[in-house]
Structure 1
Amino acid sequence: MTSNSPLDSPMSQDSPIEKELRPIGRKAAKAKKAGNSSNNTSKFLEEIARQNAIRIEMEHKLQENEIAIQAEYAREREYLSQKDMYKTDRETMAMDTSHMSLETKQFWKLERRDVMRRRRF
C-alpha cells in the first residue's frame, strides 16, 4: 500500500533543486524580535551598570583629590600663620621702649612675657 501523495513522490525526494525555506510565521517573528529586544535590553543595562561604576570610581578619585588639596591648603595656612606669629613675636621682642610712657612700657613688658611663655611651650 503506497500512497501517491505529492509529498511522497520520488521526484520530490531525488530532486537536485533544493527546497526554498518556508517564510517565518508571525508568532515566530514576534518571538524572535522579543528575544532580540530582551538581549539588547540586557546589554544596555550592563553598559549602564558599567558606566555607573566608572562614574562612581571617578567621583571617588575626585573626592580623594579634593581632600588632599584641602589638607595641603590647611598645612599652608598653618605654616603662614606660624610665620606671621614669629614675625610679630620678633617685632615685640625688638620693640624699643626707651621713649615710651610708663604704662606703654609695662604693656610691652607683659607682651614680651607672653612671647617667652609661648616659645617655651
Structure 2
Amino acid sequence: MDSPMCQDSPIEKEPRPIGRMAAKAKRGSNSTKNTSKYLEELSKMQAMRIEMDMKQQEHDRAMEVEYAKEREYVRQEKIEKRDRETMAMDTTHMSPETKQFWKLERRDVMRRRLFRDDRPSNTDWLNDQNH
C-alpha cells in the first residue's frame, strides 16, 4: 500500500519504468504478432501462386490439344491432296511398270477411302439381304 504522504502529495507520480523481463515479453508478443501476420501473407501468396500455376497448366494443356488437332487436320489435308493427285495421274504416256505402280497406288487410295474406321462402313451393301 501507498503511504499516506503519497496520497496527499500534489506532485503527480511518474509511472514506474518497465523492467527488462517485461520489456522482452512485450517485444516477444509484438514479434509473434508480426510473425503470424507475415506467415498469413506468405500462405496467401503461396495459395495464389499455386492457383496461377494450375491455371497456366490448364491453359498449356488446352493449347497442346488445339495444336494436336491442328497438326492432325494438316496431316489429313496432305493425305487427301496426295490421294487426289494420285487419282488424277495421267498414265497414258508411261511405261507399263510405271502404269502398274500408279494402278496399285490408286487401289490403295480406294481401299483407304472405302474402309475408313472413323466412318460408317461402306460395305453394308455386302450384308444386305435384298441382293
Q: In 2 relative to 1, CA 6–29 (structure 1 residues): closer, same or farther, beyond 3 Å?
A: closer
- Unaligned 5+ residue runs, structure 2? 117-131
The structure with more helix, counted as a fraction of residues: 1
Does residue 48 of structure 1 match 2:42?
A: yes
Looking at structure 1, the residues matched to 51 and 10 of structure 2 have their Cα atoms a distance apart, in angstroms, of 63
| Alignment RMSD | 1.8
Aligned to 2:123: none
Does residue 112 of structure 1 match 2:106?
A: yes
The alignment partner of 1:19 has SS state of coil
Aligned to 1:82: 76
**Aligned equivalent of 1:31, options 4, 15, 25:** 25
TM-score after normalising by structure 2: 0.81
Number of residue-to-residue matches in the alignment: 115
How many Å apart are 1:13 and its aligned residue? 3.0
Which stretch of the first structure deviates more once superposed, 93-102 or 19-28? 19-28
- Unaligned 5+ residue runs, structure 1? none
Q: In 2 relative to 1, CA 84–6 (structure 1 residues): closer, same or farther, beyond 3 Å?
A: closer
Aligned to 1:98: 92
Q: In 2 relative to 1, CA 6–64 (structure 1 residues): closer, same or farther, beyond 3 Å?
A: closer
The alignment partner of 2:3 has SS state of helix
Give structure 1 regions of 4+ aligned residues with deviation exceeding 6 angstroms. none
* Aligned pairs (5 A) from 1:62-77: 62-77=56-71
> Identity over aligned residues, as a percent?
64
Aligned to 2:124: none
Looking at structure 2, the residues matched to 6 and 23 of structure 1 have their Cα atoms a distance apart, in angstroms, of 18
